[in-house]
Structures are given as C-alpha cells and as structure tokens.
C-alpha cells in the first residue's frame, strides 16, 4: 500500500510540475503581468530560498566525509569504532 501510494503521488506530482513548467520563465523573469519580485513578500521569499539552499549545501559539504563509514557498513565491510567516537579502518 505504501509503495503504491508513493508511485501515485510521484505521478501526480510530476504531472503538476510539468503543467506549470511553461510558466516558470515568465514568473521568474517578470516578462508577464507580475514577476515574483513584484508580489508582496517576493524578495523575502527569494532570500529565504537562497539562504536555505546555501545552508543545505554547506551542511552537505561539511558532512560528506561521514558517509564513508555508513556506506561501508551497508556494503558489508567491517568498520571499527574508535573509543574517541571516530571510525577506524
């Protein structure tokens, strides 16, 4: 049931995104009646999205080295945990 509902959700979401894709350049560039920056709070929304994306990128770059031990365990390789809390070979 869970897998089937996910597949249905994915299909509906894809149709929704594709239906609005043609309007995206006009909304972003403001070549229509209103741009996103002309709407109330538009600049704040753009700033929030930009800061969120930058923060996510920074967190990902700081944490990417932690994926190695998790991938080794998933692949069936033995990973020793040091007493200092780190991972060893």
Q: Look at residue 82 in the predicted model and tell me its pLDDT.
A: 60
Asked if residue 50 and residue 28 are part of one domain, the reply reads no
Q: Which tens digit of pLDDT belongs to each residue from 22-76?
A: 887 776 666 555 555 566 777 788 889 899 999 999 999 999 888 777 776 676 6
Asked if residue 87 and residue 45 are part of one domain, the reply reads yes
Which residue segment(s) compose the domain that 47 sits in? 40-89
Q: Look at residue 24 in the predicted model and tell me its pLDDT.
A: 77
Q: Look at residue 36 in the predicted model and tell me its pLDDT.
A: 52
Asked if residue 49 and residue 10 are part of one domain, the reply reads no
pTM, two decimal places: 0.45
**CB-neighbour burial class of residue 1 (10 A; exposed 0-12, middle 13-18, buried 19+):** exposed
Whether 79 and 72 have beta carbons less than 8 Å apart is answered as yes
Number of separate domains in the chain: 2
């Amino acid at each position: 049931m869970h897998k089937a509902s996910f597949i249905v959700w994915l299909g509906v979401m894809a149709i929704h995104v594709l239906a609005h894709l043609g309007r995206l350049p006009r909304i972003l560039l403001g070549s229509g009646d209103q741009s996103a920056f002309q709407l109330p709070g538009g600049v704040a929304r753009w700033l929030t999205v930009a800061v969120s994306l930058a923060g996510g990128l920074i967190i990902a770059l700081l944490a990417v080295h932690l994926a190695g031990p998790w991938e080794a365990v998933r692949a069936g390789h033995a990973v020793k945990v040091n007493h200092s809390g780190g991972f060893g070979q």
